[in-house]
């Protein structure tokens, strides 16, 4: 009965919103209706999320927003292959048993209580995400978190850690990505807009960014830890795993198997390539060039690296299995365990972002803020942060930044504001989006584990979004 109610509520909300906004034109009103429809079905899970993600393929051509081929292109974007390659790498790590060894080392260092495990995971993901793509960070850390949860010797109490520990992976990677210019794609979009729009201004390097990025990330991580361990979830505070037993189990594992070594080496090489591709600019006089600056390598993206590594998994022979011709990963395992529906979920998010842009709804949403030009900076930052965060919840954070930052660059001139004071908080707001799986790749990958319900994400994510907007307002609108 409840499912049927939400199934009906999706199209009803779309029709209602269409007529309420028909003064904007059929395409914008129709796009708003599609967003409402998909949001209702996604949040309620009235249909599988992957099935809901296919709606743009039917509704875009029907409402004249885009053609079928144009809508379908969103389901084959390059970044989806980054996720696919990352999923296959994570499967190989799990198959070799390397994730279990890494998880035991983490427990041995941070301790075996619930709050310590969640704090350790938040911090590890944040530190890693500062220097590599946040999406890649989650692909690295998720198998390790799952290994902690699936420990056969852990007590039943450990099951209460499932949702907060997996959310800690996503939150840590997302927040850590805010701390440096290269941590998350919206930051790179901002740097590109800054170079193009203000070429005579001093470039924003690591030092300048980290003066606000590090304090913001540290405060945000502390609040996230409090929400996950004290306020929303009550995680067990007793020792779930004794340190002595952890060290004993590490000894029982013995030396790393050949498959663990090969998988670890391949993954390490992949991570290094991800981290060093674009180079690092610390200041005007200190720049480390990336390997993509070399001739003929400019088009080698992170997705191409991930897929290349994934293909190697099917070519490198296994040295730890008795099966003749066995490789580090086989297709039967990949076919059964890769969360294919999550890839469709990504495509649906990209389709929404594209439709909001093509219909003109994005321009309308951002321009609705122009009337606030005479308000104090705190009001402007809070308003823009809220709108950008909402857009990010409904689609790609990269697409949201790409759509809004050029418009806000023009608005800052009209309002007579320092563009950094407007564009930087908008960039960081695009990285927010903690409530829905479609909001960011980090959320979607964690959801793809099958261990978290959408309602659990929404319950914590709304608070994380609100707190993020408040922090951005304090950092850029008041201080």
The 10s digit of each residue's pLDDT in 10-47 is 899 999 999 999 998 899 999 989 988 987 887 777 88
Average of per-residue pLDDT values in the chain: 81
Q: Are residues 243 and 114 in the same domain?
A: yes
Selection from 178, 89, 161 nearest residue 125 by Cα: 178
Q: Are residues 116 and 230 in the same domain?
A: yes
Q: Which two tokens stand for residue 224?
A: 């996230």
Q: Are residues 401 and 436 in the same domain?
A: yes
C-alpha to C-alpha distances, 171 to 127, 129, 359, 453, nearest whole angstrom: 12, 10, 32, 16
The pLDDT-based confidence of 393 (bands split at 50, 70, 90) is confident
Taking the C-alpha atoms of residue 181 and residue 195, their distance in angstroms, rounded to an integer, is: 13
pLDDT confidence of residue 366: 65
User: Does residue 223 register a pLDDT over 70?
Assistant: yes
The pLDDT-based confidence of 268 (bands split at 50, 70, 90) is confident
Q: Which residue, of 275, 297, 331, is where some domain finishes?
A: 331
- Number of helices (H), then strands (E), belonging to the chain: the values are 23, 2
Would residue 204 be called left, alpha or beta, if left means φ above 0 and alpha means ψ between -120 and 50 degrees? beta
Name which residue leads in pLDDT, 465 or 136: 465
Q: Are residues 69 and 87 in the same domain?
A: no
The pLDDT-based confidence of 341 (bands split at 50, 70, 90) is confident
CA atoms within 13 Å, Cβ hemisphere of 158: 18
Query: What's the pTM value of the predicted model, to 2 decimals?
Result: 0.70
Would residue 45 be called left, alpha or beta, if left means φ above 0 and alpha means ψ between -120 and 50 degrees? left
Segment 234-239 shows an average pLDDT of: 73
Q: Are residues 113 and 169 in the same domain?
A: yes
User: Does residue 319 register a pLDDT over 70?
Assistant: yes
Selection from 475, 427, 439, 435 nearest residue 459 by Cα: 435
User: Does residue 218 register a pLDDT over 90?
Assistant: yes
Q: Which two tokens stand for residue 309?
A: 């590594």
Q: Are residues 380 and 419 in the same domain?
A: yes
Q: Are residues 125 and 265 in the same domain?
A: yes
Identify the domain containing residue 100 by its residue range.
78-331
Q: Are residues 70 and 86 in the same domain?
A: no
Q: Which two tokens stand for residue 42?
A: 């996604």
pLDDT tens digits, 414-456: 677 778 888 899 999 988 889 888 778 788 888 888 888 888 8
Q: Which residue, of 298, 331, 364, is where some domain finishes?
A: 331
Q: Are residues 56 and 187 in the same domain?
A: no
Q: Which residue, of 331, 357, 378, is where some domain finishes?
A: 331
Taking the C-alpha atoms of residue 291 and residue 183, their distance in angstroms, rounded to an integer, is: 18
Number of domains in the chain: 2
Contact yes or no for 405/427 (Cβ under 8 A): yes
Selection from 34, 31, 21, 81 nearest residue 356 by Cα: 31
Q: Are residues 306 and 360 in the same domain?
A: no
The pLDDT-based confidence of 228 (bands split at 50, 70, 90) is very high
Of 284-298, 307-321, 405-419, which range is least confident? 405-419
Q: Are residues 465 and 403 in the same domain?
A: yes
If residue 288 lies in a helix (H) or strand (E), which one and from where to where?
A: strand 287-288
Taking the C-alpha atoms of residue 53 and residue 447, their distance in angstroms, rounded to an integer, is: 14
Neighbours of 361 (CB within 10 A): 25
Q: Are residues 144 and 66 in the same domain?
A: no
């Amino acid at each position: 009965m409840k499912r049927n109610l939400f199934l009906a509520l999706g199209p009803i909300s779309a029709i209602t919103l269409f007529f309420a906004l028909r003064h904007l034109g059929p395409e914008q009103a129709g796009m708003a209706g599609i967003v409402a429809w998909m949001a209702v079905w996604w949040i309620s899970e009235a249909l599988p999320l992957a099935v809901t993600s296919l709606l743009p393929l039917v509704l875009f051509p029907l409402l004249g927003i885009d053609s079928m081929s144009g809508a379908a292109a969103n389901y084959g974007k390059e970044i989806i292959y980054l996720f696919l390659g990352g999923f296959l790498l994570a499967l190989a790590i799990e198959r070799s048993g390397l994730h279990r060894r890494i998880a035991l080392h983490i427990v041995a260092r941070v301790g075996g209580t619930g709050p310590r495990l969640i704090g350790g995971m938040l911090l590890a993901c944040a530190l890693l995400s500062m220097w590599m793509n946040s999406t890649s960070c989650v692909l690295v850390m998720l198998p390790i978190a799952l290994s902690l949860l699936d420990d056969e010797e852990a007590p039943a109490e450990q099951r209460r850690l499932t949702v907060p520990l997996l959310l800690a992976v996503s939150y840590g990677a997302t927040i850590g990505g805010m701390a440096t210019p290269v941590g998350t794609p919206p930051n790179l979009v901002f740097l590109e807009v800054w170079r193009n729009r203000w070429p005579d201004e001093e470039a924003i390097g690591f030092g300048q960014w980290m003066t606000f990025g590090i304090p913001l990330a540290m405060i945000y991580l502390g609040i996230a830890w409090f929400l996950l361990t004290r306020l929303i979830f009550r995680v067990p505070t007793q020792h779930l795993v004794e340190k002595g037993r952890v060290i004993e189990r590490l000894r029982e594992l013995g030396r790393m198997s050949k498959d663990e070594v090969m998988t670890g080496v391949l993954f390490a090489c992949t991570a290094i390539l991800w981290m060093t591709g674009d180079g690092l600019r610390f200041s005007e006089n200190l720049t480390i060039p990336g390997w993509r600056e070399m001739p003929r390598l400019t088009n080698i993206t992170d997705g191409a690296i991930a897929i290349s590594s994934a293909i190697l998994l099917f070519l490198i022979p296994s040295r730890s299995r008795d099966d003749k011709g066995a490789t580090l990963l086989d297709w039967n395992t990949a076919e059964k365990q890769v969360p294919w529906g999550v890839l469709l979920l990504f495509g649906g998010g990209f389709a929404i972002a594209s439709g909001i842009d093509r219909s003109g709804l994005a321009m309308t949403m951002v321009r609705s803020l122009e009337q606030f030009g005479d308000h104090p900076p705190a009001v402007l930052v809070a308003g823009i942060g809220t709108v950008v965060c909402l857009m990010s919840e409904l689609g790609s954070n990269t697409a949201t930044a790409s759509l809004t930052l050029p418009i806000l660059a023009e608005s800052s001139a009209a309002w007579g504001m320092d563009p950094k004071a407007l564009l930087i908080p908008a960039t960081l707001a695009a990285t927010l989006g903690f409530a829905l799986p479609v909001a960011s790749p980090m959320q979607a990958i964690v959801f793809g584990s099958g261990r978290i319900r959408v309602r659990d994400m929404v319950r914590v994510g709304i608070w994380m979004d609100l707190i993020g907007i408040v922090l951005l307002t304090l950092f850029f609108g008041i201080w």
